[in-house]
Amino acid sequence: MENNTNRDFLEIPQKPRNGFFVPKSFSGKLALGFGIALAASISLSLVFAFFINGDAAVIEKNPTLTFLAYALSFIFSLSAPLSFFIGIYTIIKQQEWSIWKPLAILYGLTLIIFLLGEFIFPH
């Protein structure tokens, strides 16, 4: 008779489900990509501001830095709402719940709340 008491301990663990971490659908991957683009543009904007020491005159003097500043703000303002709306669409229509989807929606929701606050309570 064979002793199987330690057999469960020695078994190789199964891989996690395929759609748990990475979305399966194209729209889910698109929402995740826009969320990653948002995080990258925010990080680059902070590094950019650190290197110019927050001095706007540096940007005005150099056309390359002006283009970079406009490009980063365009990517930032475009990727957040797209991440939010595509993520909501993917959850509602395709019933897809990967672990990164709520984070992509949270990025977009944060920007939308920020913009609403800017328009409702101007300073």
pLDDT tens digits for range 3-15? 555 555 555 555 5
Contact (Cβ atoms closer than 8 angstroms) between residue 23 and residue 31? yes
d(CA 15, CA 59): 49
Give mean pLDDT, residues 84-98: 81
Res. 115 pLDDT band, cuts 50 70 90: confident
DSSP conformation class of 121: S
**What average pLDDT is seen over the chain?**
78
Structural domain boundaries, residue 86: 26-120
Contact (Cβ atoms closer than 8 angstroms) between residue 105 and residue 30? no
C-alpha to C-alpha distances, 47 to 43, 54, 68, 101, nearest whole angstrom: 6, 10, 12, 26
Residue 6's pLDDT is 54
pLDDT exceeds 80 at position 56: no
Res. 118 pLDDT band, cuts 50 70 90: confident
Q: Establish if 105 belongs to a structural domain.
A: yes
Ramachandran class of 31: left when φ > 0, alpha when ψ lies in -120 to 50, beta otherwise: alpha
Q: Establish if 75 belongs to a structural domain.
A: yes
- What's the structural domain count of the chain? 1
Within 1-123, residue ranges assigned H as helices are 7-10, 18-21, 26-51, 56-61, 63-94, 101-120
**Of 23, 38, 30, which Cα lies nearest the Cα of 107?**
38
Q: Establish if 2 belongs to a structural domain.
A: no
Q: Establish if 7 belongs to a structural domain.
A: no
Ramachandran class of 16: left when φ > 0, alpha when ψ lies in -120 to 50, beta otherwise: beta
Q: Establish if 74 belongs to a structural domain.
A: yes
Give mean pLDDT, residues 56-82: 83
Res. 98 pLDDT band, cuts 50 70 90: confident
Residue 14's pLDDT is 55
Q: Establish if 81 belongs to a structural domain.
A: yes
Q: Establish if 18 belongs to a structural domain.
A: no
Residue 109's pLDDT is 81
pTM: 0.67
Q: Establish if 11 belongs to a structural domain.
A: no
